[in-house]
Each structure stands twice: as C-alpha cells, then as structure tokens.
Amino acid sequence: MEPHATIHELTAAFAKGTASPVAVTEGYLARIGALDDKVGAYLTVTRDQALAAARASEARYRAGAPLSPLDGAPLAIKDVFCTAGVRTTCGSKILETFVPPYDATIVARLRKAGAVLLGKTNMDEFAMGSSTEHSAFKLTRNPWDLARVPGGSSGGSAAAVAGGLAAGGFGTDTGGSVRQPAAFCGVIGFKPTYGRVSRYGLIAFASSLDHVAPFALDILDTALLLGAVAGHDPLDATSVDATVPDYAAALGAGVKGLRVGVPDEYFGAGLDPEIDRAVRAAVDVLRDLGAKVEPVSLPTTSYGVATYYVVAPAEASSNLARYDGVKYGLRVAGKDLIDMVSRTRAAGFGPEVKRRIMLGTYALSAGYHDAYYGQAQKVRTLVRQDFEKAFARVDVLAAPTTPGVAFRHGEKADPLAMYMNDVYTIPASMTGLPAVSVPCGFSATGLPIGLQLIGRTLDESTLLRAAHAYEQATPWRERHPSLA
Amino acid sequence: MSTTTATTYETVIGLEVHAQLATRSKMFCGCPTTFGAPPNSQTCPICQGMPGTLPVINRRAVEFVIATGIAIEATIPERTQWERKNYFYPDLPKGYQISQYAIPLASSGRLRIETSDGPFTVPITRAHLEEDTAKLVHGDTAGAAGARTSLVDFNRSGAPLMEIVTEPDIRTAEQARRYAEELQLLLRAIGASDADMERGQMRVEANVSLRPRGTTAFGTRVEVKNMNSFRSVERAIAYEIERQGRALDAGEPLTMETRGWDDGRQATYRMRAKETSDDYRYFPEPDLPPLRVDKAWIASIRDTLPELPAARRARYEALGLSGYDAAVLVADPGMGGAFEAIRAARPTLPAKEIANFVSGSGARVAKGAGYNATGVPGEGHPADVATLLAAILDGAVSRAVGRDLLERHLGDGTPSAALLAGAGPGPISDDAALLEHVDAVIAANPKAVVDYRAGRPVAGFFVGQVMKATAGAADAARVTQLVRERLDAEG
C-alpha cells in the first residue's frame, strides 16, 4: 500500500484480501524505523503490541468478522493518553518512568474497535506549547520542511500522520493543540464538542479546555476515528450523555443552503496575507458549492488569548500539583518533605510548565483571584454569547486556523509570540464548540495552510459534512511531503 | 471553670465535626470503605490520584448530606458545586482536596440539645461534602538515606466526608459535648455515618477563645484537635478555657495555634502555630459539573427520613416514660430497638413496663448475651418477651416467677409458651377454680375426711394435695382457708 493510504482505503483492502493488516503494520513500523530519526514523531514505538494487534486483526478479517471500520488501522497516539503497561510520559521528565496500570477510555475504545496502536507520540510537555519544542525528550520536525516545527502541542501525532508514519492519530486540543499542528502539517485535525469524547485517562493540562481530537488524512477517516471514540463515559462526569450519530453516513449531503459565517475579527492585522487569500478562496469554494456566505462579528475574539492564559494556567497549576515525587514518577531526595517536593518539581518540570504553574498559582491567589480568574470566567461567558449570537444566523463559521504557516525551530522564543499562534483556535476551545482544520492550500514556500470551520454544540455532523464537501471539491489531500 | 474566669470572661466555642459517611464506596470512585482493611488494599488509580483519572460523584453521599441538612432544618440549595482546595501534603494524592466552598449542600441549620442548665439550640453554619485524605503512618525506623520514613495508606483517601460547622455560639464545654453526642445520635438515626469517634468516623475539632464579658470582638482563637471521645471533648475544652483564662489573667499573650488533647496527661499541647492564614486557592472543580438538587429529590429524601432522636424522645415521653428513660432508650440503639420490638409485638403493654424491663434486667441480659441488630437479646424473641411481661402484668405468674422466666427465655430462647406451661397456670386467685380442686381432693380422700372430722390434724394433707394439683400456682393460705370451710361445712 501507499505510505499515505487512508484508513478507509486500508480497511477496504483488508476486507477484500488485497492487503493484510500484518503486512501494513510491518510497513509502517519499517517506515518509522527508517524515517522517524528525521521526523521525531514518536517517543515510544510499541512494536510487539502493534504486531500482535495486527495479527489478531488479520485473523478477524480472515474469519470475515472485523470489529469495526477501524479494524487493523495503524494509529499514532499522543503520549498524553494513558496506555496500560506502556510508558506514558506526557512529554515530561517528571513522568519519564511512569507506566500507567490502565488505558485511557479512548485507548480502550480504539482497541475494542480493532485499531493497531503503533506507538506514543511526542508533544509539548503537559501539552503546553504550540511547536512541540517544549518536549523534554526530543525535537519533532515538520515533514514538509524539517527545519520547521510541526506545531503543537500534538506535533508528534500530526507529523506522524502527515509523514506517512501512521494512517491516523489522536492528540488533545486545549487551545488549538490539534487544529494548529493539523494546519501546519497539512492534515485534518478535528476538535469535537467538549464532553463528546471522554477525557478519562487523558493526563490533564486544563480540565475545562482539554479535548480529545483525531488527526486524519481525509474527512471520512476523521468521521470513522471520531465515531469510534465518541459517546458518554461513566468515568468522566463531564462527558455528554447524547446519542452519537453515524458520522460517516452523513458526509455526502453537500452544503447547498448551508449558511456559512465569516467572522471579520479573524481576518485582521497579524494574519499572513497568503493565508488570508487561501481561506477566502476556500470560502468561495463553499459558496460555489451552494453555501450562503455572510459576514458575522465575534467582537470578543481579541480577549481570547488573554482569557485563555488565565484559565488554562490556573487549572494547570492545580492539575500538576499531584506530581510531588511521593507516589510515582520522578523523585529527587531532599532534607525534608517540602525540600523533596521542591527539588522533584524543580528537576522534573521544564521552563514553560513552570511558567504556567506560576501564572496559574498567581491568578488563583487570594487578592488576585477575582481580578484574574473571576474576570476570565466572565469573559468566557461573553465569548460564548458571541458565538450563540452568530449561530442564530449561520450554521458554520469559516476562518483561518492559524495566523501564519509553520515557523522555524527556535523562531518563537518569546512566549507571547508563541501564545499568539493560538489566537484563532482558542475561542472554540473556550466555548467547547466543535471545530476542524482542513487543508486549504499551500504557501509560496510549499507549506500547508489550514481552513478552520467551527460548528454548533454537538453538531459535529454538519461540520464534517461541510468539510467533506470542501475536501472533495479541492485537490489538497492528494499532496504529501516526501521524506525520502 | 474557675469562678474568676467564669465571671471575667465569656467563652466562645465553635465546633467543626467531620463525619465519614456510611456509603459502600468512596466519594469519587468505586473502592470500598471497609474499616480496618490491610493498608492500600482499598485503592484504585482514581483515589491514588494517578494522572488522567477523573472523579465521579457518589450520589448516596450527596443524599446523606441532604438528609442531614433536612434533619438540622438547614437550607438546601437548588444547585451546588464542588471546589478544589489546593495544598501540598503526602496524604493528599492529587495535591488538592475536592470540597465545597461557595455553595455547601446545607446551610443555616440548628440542633437543639438538653444540658444541665436546660435546653440550648446550637446554630449550624453549614454542612458540606468533601473527600477524606489518606492516612500517614510514621515509622520509627530509619530509611535508606538515614531519615525516618513515613508511609501512606490510601484506603481512606477519597472516602466521603461531611463537614458540619457550628456558629461560634457555644458557651460551655458541656454544651459542646452534648452537641457532639446529639449529632452522633442524629447521624446514626439517619444512617449517614457510623460516627464512631474511636475509629475516626467522627472527628470533632473545637475553636476556643475567651473575651472579656460585655465585649463583642473575638479573642485569640485556639483550635483543639485529637479528642477521641465525648469525654475528651468536654475535658479538652474545659482545660483550654482554664488555660486561656489563667494566661489572660496573668497578662500573657495567647497565640493563634492548633493544640492537641493528650488524654493521658489530661492537658492540651501545642501542635503548630498558625502565623499566617493559608491560601487554598479555591476554584470550581472543572472535572465535576455543578449538581442540580431538584425539589423532588429533596422531597424523596425527606420522605425516607426515619424518626429523628428528638421526635422519638418526645414520643416516648408522650407514652408516659420519664425524660431520663426516653433519653436512655434513644441513646442506646440496642435498648431502643428492643423497646420498639417488644412494643410492636404487644402494643397494649404499658410502655413504662417495657422500658423498665429493657433498661433494667434487659440491659443486664443485653450485656451478657448481646442484643442483635433487631434489638432482640440473645436467642430471645420480642413476642415471647412481650408475652411473659403480659403474664406478669395479668397476674398469671408472680413477678418473681416472671423475672425468672424472662431470664430463662433470654438465656436459652425457650419459647414463652413452654415456660408458662412449665410454670403452671400461676396463682389461682379465683375461688371457684380453687374450690374445684379442693372438692376433688376431698372426694378422692374419704378416709382423711373421717380423720379430719375425728379431730386429727390432716388439714395440711388436703392443702398439700391441692397445691400439688395446681402445680404450686395456688395461694397456700387461701387454699387452707377454703379446705377448712369445705370440711367444716360438710361436717
């Protein structure tokens, strides 16, 4: 099979007997062996487990009883998801030796669907970053230009899917950590509604913002991956108890009559003109396909980044308190308890994580709580109201995913410059609305550009339908980076 | 309290009670909460605070707090939420405790108590639901680095805990003890908590301060912990009042501190100073959506509430029991249960008779044989006890015989019917019935009649025969009288 075959192509071939899950898995493992030194997508390759899963899958196909449309699909999983018996680092020294005794719910559901998990992918430490440069372990390179970042924090999974080192993958999107790397790497990144997919076993960064999100080569694969993991989980009190539609079945309905809103605030200063042009051209494609396009306004957009960088660090400062050297992970001995905890955290956390823990601790402190955390929660409500107003008039919003294309390693050393990368993805994170990044062209230098579509709460189907119509009308998915 | 302290200062006491709720599983995971299990045998990734794990609310625990809230006449909010209380300690695996801060499940309640100075109502600020911490076990042995080691037992980690806080309106050590006792009764009646202080299922902490009489500003507050019995609560607070009073008299400044009660020395000791107030950086727990408490839910909990201790005492007094007897029966689940069971078996029995039996011989038997959960002592059965008590009251057996039969029943479970049959029909006070026996004996012994009439002393023979025939249930004096009347009349 081609290194960039989609999951549905692979599983169709498995069913017909023209390809075998074992051979395909071996092919991916061989490609990882040959190319991942260049890309740096994986932190851990679970070779033996992957082959065992592929053999089991092959037996099922032979018996004519595959478990699901994902049976035998070789996937890359961000190292933020707990995997029973497999080291789960979250990109941090503090969890370098941590082996969870349990699977995250999405991992368990993927296994139940027959997927083959190739390994755990690189990420910014505790998902804090937009370039994967904050990983404690290695650099991940963008398969389109190895001198550039894949985006982040789920850069490893994005690079793996873009580079043909996995047929699909999963990441987490807290402020854009799946949509942004998807845009940078020229693949699909789909953030469902908050609560649509269980967070159980996802190592928390910011609990009210963390979303499980798939990467895929096309929208049909996206629908299949999402369908396999979506749905209520009794282990996650924030997971939504709502029926999961057959996402794949609804794809072909087109966009005739669909109302597409174009928010003015997403096309202002700071947006790369090439991206501006590509996204406006994509909106024209939707119009040509029968969508009704109209301008909308989301006036609170400019408050998004500031609000996010209060709420997310506040939650993170609490979520990361458990890494104290007492129970698991790194422990650095000290002269007493406080000394041990301090030394452990000083040695175990990288500078970006420390920065955010300090920011968040400050924002929650007595005397500052109302001015920062309290105020941020109010703004979050206003942002939500902005979207509610817009969605009274339109069905889907179309906007750029990122203000610029993939940047060079080390280019955004200033934390604020890095944070501004998430300016267009943060609003959908704060509101929990479903949003997808779809490839919509290339820069003059050959770097991918992402179109972001944002939908209504729990209306992933409409979003997938619009993205599918666009994808089918454009040639972008046919281009792949060459790593040879 | 010494006279000077009592006259110079007013005591201000507020109590915080932590009660471990009697749920089968923990607050946020499915682990059991059995007391005394081997260390770390009742744990899972969730209550160990492993990365990626999430809490899910135990609804039963919520219901117990709502039930308690209803029982203390508190306000139950329509919507409640949980917050994270952030601090580092090895017994807190997540680095935060999930607790309630802004909207407790119950607020503005009260509990009425009886004291030697009369009734007193303790205002309760709030009752909220949180999770317990793990338990630290401090070893004496040196670890690898030469330092002393401490071990963490996570069995208790995440157990549901209700915190009940009073207003600082308690004024005496006795009121504090009585409040704690009454609260224990209430929690046990509801079934919310086993509330065993020795097992740490109910932990009482007291904030004690003194202020000059007539002033309103609070004095320097001292928190007292480690009181493992009601007696300790009263003594520790009394000690603290004395200590603070002496210090104030001597012009020595008091410090904000936490003190522990040393039961052996009968004194409090300094545990740690509270120089700064802690900043717990509370914020709403993002892993738990706010909880709606709709009126129907509250109503259904209210409907299933059992009779509360105060109401039960009132009912017993209305049945004619003394206040003391009523309090004893309500305070002791064994005795109270036995009282109810016997009364249910024969509602016509006077309550006072049952109470006397239960708190008198019943208590004695209870200590030897043990009351079981249904209040039935030993192998005994409430219906049998009721029958035997009725037999005594009806005069079917004498009190002495009846007591003996009750002891035998409670001891080996012999049914009341067999005991009463063996004891005979009892003192036959009915002359007609007795005369039947007398006439029968006279008819059967014509020779003795002749002897009697001949002036021989054979009256005792007739009496003995009648007593034999009635199995000792007849009154011998009356029988003698009747025998003489009959024999003389026929002569």
Residue A95 in contact with partner chain B when CB distance is under 8 A: yes
At residue B372 the predicted structure's pLDDT band, cuts being 50, 70 and 90, is very low
- Contact criterion met (CB below 8 Å) for A426 and A176: yes
Using a 10 angstrom Cβ sphere, with 0-12 exposed, 13-18 middle and 19 or more buried, the burial of residue B114 is: middle
The answer to whether the Cβ–Cβ distance between A235 and B48 falls below 8 Å is no
pLDDT per residue as tens, chain A (484 positions): 678 999 999 999 999 999 999 999 999 999 999 999 999 999 999 999 999 999 999 999 999 999 999 999 999 999 999 999 999 999 999 999 999 999 999 999 999 999 999 999 999 999 999 999 999 999 999 999 999 999 999 999 999 999 999 999 999 999 999 999 999 999 999 999 999 999 999 999 999 999 999 999 999 999 999 999 999 999 999 999 999 999 999 899 999 999 999 999 999 889 999 999 999 999 999 999 999 999 999 999 999 999 999 999 999 999 999 999 999 999 999 998 899 999 999 999 999 999 999 999 999 998 898 899 999 999 999 999 999 999 999 999 999 999 999 999 999 988 888 888 899 999 999 999 999 999 999 999 999 999 999 999 999 999 999 999 999 999 999 999 998 7
Evaluate whether residue A310 is within a structural domain: yes
- Contact criterion met (CB below 8 Å) for A200 and B54: yes
Give yes or no: residues A401 and A370 share one domain.
no
> Which pLDDT does position B370 carry in this prediction?
44
Give yes or no: residues A140 and A11 share one domain.
yes
Residue whose entry in the numeric block shows the structure tokens 């075998």? A20
CATH number at residue A184: 3.90.1300.10
Boundary-marking domain end, from A349, A376, A403: A376
Predicted confidence (pLDDT) per residue in A338-357, tens digit: 999 999 999 999 999 999 99
- Contact criterion met (CB below 8 Å) for A78 and A154: yes
d(CA B224, CA A145): 66
Does the pLDDT at position B369 exceed 80?
no
Evaluate whether residue A436 is within a structural domain: yes
Give yes or no: residues A325 and A412 share one domain.
no
Query: Is A153 annotated as catalytic?
Result: yes
**A57 preceded by a cis bond (ω within 30 of 0):** no
With contacts defined as CB-CB under 8 Å, which chain A residues touch B279? 365-366
Predicted confidence (pLDDT) per residue in A257-282, tens digit: 999 999 999 998 899 999 999 999 99
Give yes or no: residues A37 and A167 share one domain.
yes
d(CA B436, CA B442): 10
Give yes or no: residues A161 and A63 share one domain.
yes
Evaluate whether residue A387 is within a structural domain: no
> Mutate which of A82, A88, A208, A327 to disrupt the B interface (most B C-beta within 10 Å)?
A327
Cα–Cα distances in Å, from A307 out to A317, A375, A387, A426, B275? 16, 8, 16, 9, 34
Element (H, E) at A380: helix A375-393
Give yes or no: residues A338 and A223 share one domain.
no
Residue B475 vs residue B194, higher pLDDT = B194
Predicted confidence (pLDDT) per residue in A88-120, tens digit: 999 999 999 999 999 999 999 999 999 999 999
Structural domain count, chain A:
2
d(CA B474, CA B467): 6
Give yes or no: residues A453 and A364 share one domain.
no
Evaluate whether residue A279 is within a structural domain: no
Give yes or no: residues A237 and A346 share one domain.
no
> What's the mean per-residue pLDDT of chain A?
97
The answer to whether the Cβ–Cβ distance between A237 and B289 falls below 8 Å is yes
Residue A105 in contact with partner chain B when CB distance is under 8 A: no
> What's the mean per-residue pLDDT of chain B?
88
Cα–Cα distances in Å, from A335 out to A332, A345, B137, B142, B454? 10, 15, 19, 14, 113
What are residue A281's DSSP bridge partners? none
> Which pLDDT does position A170 carry in this prediction?
98
With contacts defined as CB-CB under 8 Å, which chain B residues touch A238? 54, 286-289
What are residue B148's DSSP bridge partners? B142
Long-range contacts of B434-439 (CB under 8 A, 24+ apart): B434/B466, B434/B470, B434/B474, B434/B478, B434/B479, B434/B482, B435/B482, B435/B486, B437/B466, B437/B469, B437/B470, B437/B474, B437/B479, B438/B462, B438/B466, B438/B479, B438/B482, B438/B483, B438/B486, B439/B486
> Which pLDDT does position B434 carry in this prediction?
81
Evaluate whether residue A276 is within a structural domain: no
Cα–Cα distances in Å, from A411 out to A133, A414, A418? 11, 9, 9
Q: Where are the domains of chain B?
A: 3-296, 307-422, 431-490
With contacts defined as CB-CB under 8 Å, which chain B residues touch A97? none
Chain A residue with Cα closest to B98? A318
Q: What are phi and psi of B95, to 5 degrees?
A: 80, 5
User: Which residue segment(s) compose the domain that A311 sits in?
Assistant: 302-376
Give yes or no: residues A54 and A137 share one domain.
yes
Give yes or no: residues A356 and A454 share one domain.
no
- Contact criterion met (CB below 8 Å) for A234 and B84: no
Evaluate whether residue A86 is within a structural domain: yes
> Which pLDDT does position B422 carry in this prediction?
74
Evaluate whether residue A386 is within a structural domain: no
Give yes or no: residues A352 and A422 share one domain.
no
> Which pLDDT does position B484 carry in this prediction?
87
Give yes or no: residues A356 and A456 share one domain.
no
d(CA A403, CA A450): 10
Evaluate whether residue A186 is within a structural domain: yes
Query: Is A177 annotated as catalytic?
Result: yes
**What fold characterizes domain B431-490?**
Arc Repressor Mutant, subunit A (1.10.10)
ipTM: 0.96
Q: What are phi and psi of B28, to 5 degrees?
A: -130, 5
| Active-site residue, selected from the candidate residues A135, A153, A239, A461 | A153
pTM: 0.88
Residue B394 in contact with partner chain A when CB distance is under 8 A: no
Q: What is the mean pLDDT of residues B79-99?
A: 96
The answer to whether the Cβ–Cβ distance between B287 and A237 falls below 8 Å is yes
